[in-house]
Amino acid sequence: MLKTEKEIVFSFNGADTSYLTHSLHPFPAKFPPQLPKKILEDYAIKGQTVLDPFCGSGTTLVEARIFGVNSIGVDVNGLSVLLSQVKATPLSEKQFSIIENFIANIEDLTFKCKFNGRPKFSIKKIEGQDHWFQQNVSEEITFLLTNIAQLNDVMVQNFLKIVLSSIIVRVSNQESDTRFAAIQKNIPNYFTLEQFIKRTKEYNLRMKEFSELVQNSTELQVFNADSRNLDFISDNSIDIIITSPPYANTYDYYLYHKFRKRWLDLDVKFAQYNEIGSRREYSSLKEKKEKWNEDLIKCFKEMQRVLKPSHFAFIVIGDSVIKKELIKIEKEISNFTPDIGFKVNDILSSDLSNHSKIFNPSYAQKGKKEHLIILEKI
Ligand SMILES: C[S@@+](CC[C@H](N)C(=O)[O-])C[C@H]1O[C@@H](n2cnc3c(N)ncnc32)[C@H](O)[C@@H]1O
317: domain CATH number is 3.40.50.150
pLDDT of residue 5: 45
- Domain stop point among 182, 213, 244: 213
- Chain-centre distance of CA 188, in angstroms? 30
- Domain stop point among 190, 213, 236: 213
Domain assignment present for residue 185? The answer is yes
Domain assignment present for residue 19? The answer is no
Give the chain's largest Cα–Cα span.
71
- Domain stop point among 213, 232, 260: 213
Instruction: Judge whether residue 1 has pLDDT over 50.
Output: no
Instruction: Judge whether residue 358 has pLDDT over 50.
Output: no
Q: Which atom of ligand 1 is nearest to the CA of 59?
A: 8
Dist. CA 115 → ligand 1 center (Å)? 45
Domain assignment present for residue 349? The answer is yes
- Chain-centre distance of CA 341, in angstroms? 28
Gap between the Cα atoms of 204 and 296, Å rounded: 38
Domain assignment present for residue 8? The answer is no
User: In this structure, which residue's CA is closest to atom 22 in ligand 1?
Assistant: 75
Domain assignment present for residue 11? The answer is no
Q: Which atom of ligand 1 is nearest to the CA of 295?
A: 19
Gap between the Cα atoms of 297 and 286, Å rounded: 20
Dist. CA 160 → ligand 1 center (Å)? 23
Q: Which atom of ligand 1 is nearest to the CA of 80?
A: 27
> Model confidence at 256, in pLDDT bands (50, 70, 90)?
confident
In this structure, are 372 and 228 located in the same domain?
yes
Number of domains into which the chain is organized: 2
User: In this structure, which residue's CA is closest to atom 7 in ligand 1?
Assistant: 30
Q: 74 in ligand 1 pocket by Cβ < 6 Å?
A: yes
pLDDT of residue 22: 97
Domain assignment present for residue 345? The answer is yes
Instruction: Judge whether residue 355 has pLDDT over 50.
Output: no
Domain assignment present for residue 32? The answer is yes
pLDDT of residue 3: 47
In this structure, are 311 and 356 located in the same domain?
yes
Q: 156 in ligand 1 pocket by Cβ < 6 Å?
A: no
Instruction: Judge whether residue 88 has pLDDT over 50.
Output: yes
In this structure, are 308 and 369 located in the same domain?
yes
Q: 333 in ligand 1 pocket by Cβ < 6 Å?
A: no
Q: 31 in ligand 1 pocket by Cβ < 6 Å?
A: yes
Dist. CA 52 → ligand 1 center (Å)? 9
Mean pLDDT of 26-48: 93
For 129-156, write each residue's pLDDT tens digit.
999 999 999 999 999 999 999 999 999 9
In this structure, are 86 and 231 located in the same domain?
yes
Q: 218 in ligand 1 pocket by Cβ < 6 Å?
A: no
Mean pLDDT of 281-297: 90
Strand partners, 51: 72, 241
Mean pLDDT of 266-286: 90
Handedness of CA 146, 147, 153, 157 (dihedral sign): negative
Q: What are phi and psi of 199, to 5 degrees?
A: -65, -35
Domain assignment present for residue 4? The answer is no
Q: Which of 54, 81, 273 to mutate to test the pocket of ligand 1 (most atoms within 8 A of CB)?
A: 54
In this structure, are 145 and 192 located in the same domain?
yes
Gap between the Cα atoms of 25 and 333, Å rounded: 32
Conformational region of residue 341, where left means phi above 0, alpha means psi within -120 to 50, and beta covers everything else: left
Proportion of the chain above pLDDT 90, given as a percent: 73
In this structure, are 229 and 131 located in the same domain?
no
Q: 191 in ligand 1 pocket by Cβ < 6 Å?
A: no
In this structure, are 97 and 79 located in the same domain?
no
Dist. CA 15 → ligand 1 center (Å)? 23
For 3-30, write each residue's pLDDT tens digit.
444 344 566 777 888 999 999 999 988 8
User: In this structure, which residue's CA is closest to atom 17 in ligand 1?
Assistant: 275
Proportion of the chain above pLDDT 70, given as a percent: 93
User: In this structure, which residue's CA is closest to atom 13 in ligand 1?
Assistant: 54
pLDDT of residue 11: 65
Please choose, from the candidates 351, 352, 347, 336, the residue with its C-alpha nearest in 3D space to the C-alpha of residue 373.
Answer: 347
Residue type, 197: I
In this structure, are 142 and 174 located in the same domain?
yes
In this structure, are 101 and 39 located in the same domain?
no
Q: Which atom of ligand 1 is nearest to the CA of 56?
A: 27
In this structure, are 240 and 301 located in the same domain?
yes
> Model confidence at 284, in pLDDT bands (50, 70, 90)?
confident
Instruction: Judge whether residue 206 has pLDDT over 50.
Output: yes
User: In this structure, which residue's CA is closest to atom 1 in ligand 1?
Assistant: 246
Q: 253 in ligand 1 pocket by Cβ < 6 Å?
A: yes
Full-model pTM: 0.93
Mean pLDDT of 87-102: 97
pLDDT of residue 229: 98
Within 8 A by CB and 6+ apart from 74, the residues are 51, 52, 53, 54, 55, 222, 223, 225, 227, 230
In this structure, are 260 and 197 located in the same domain?
no
Cβ atoms of residues 204 and 99 within 8 Å: yes
pLDDT of residue 368: 83
Q: Which of the residue ranges 203-217, 229-243, 277-291 would you say has the lowest mean pLDDT?
A: 277-291
In this structure, are 156 and 272 located in the same domain?
no
Mean pLDDT of the residues in the chain: 91
pLDDT of residue 271: 93
> Model confidence at 215, in pLDDT bands (50, 70, 90)?
confident
Q: Which of the residue ranges 160-164, 243-247, 255-259, 361-365 would you say has the lowest mean pLDDT?
A: 361-365
pLDDT of residue 349: 86
Dist. CA 245 → ligand 1 center (Å)? 5
Q: Which atom of ligand 1 is nearest to the CA of 243?
A: 6
Instruction: Judge whether residue 370 has pLDDT over 60.
Output: yes
pLDDT of residue 351: 63
Q: How many CB atoms lie within 10 A of CB 280?
A: 17
pLDDT of residue 364: 53
Q: Which domain holds residue 157?
A: 93-213
pLDDT of residue 285: 83
Q: 226 in ligand 1 pocket by Cβ < 6 Å?
A: yes
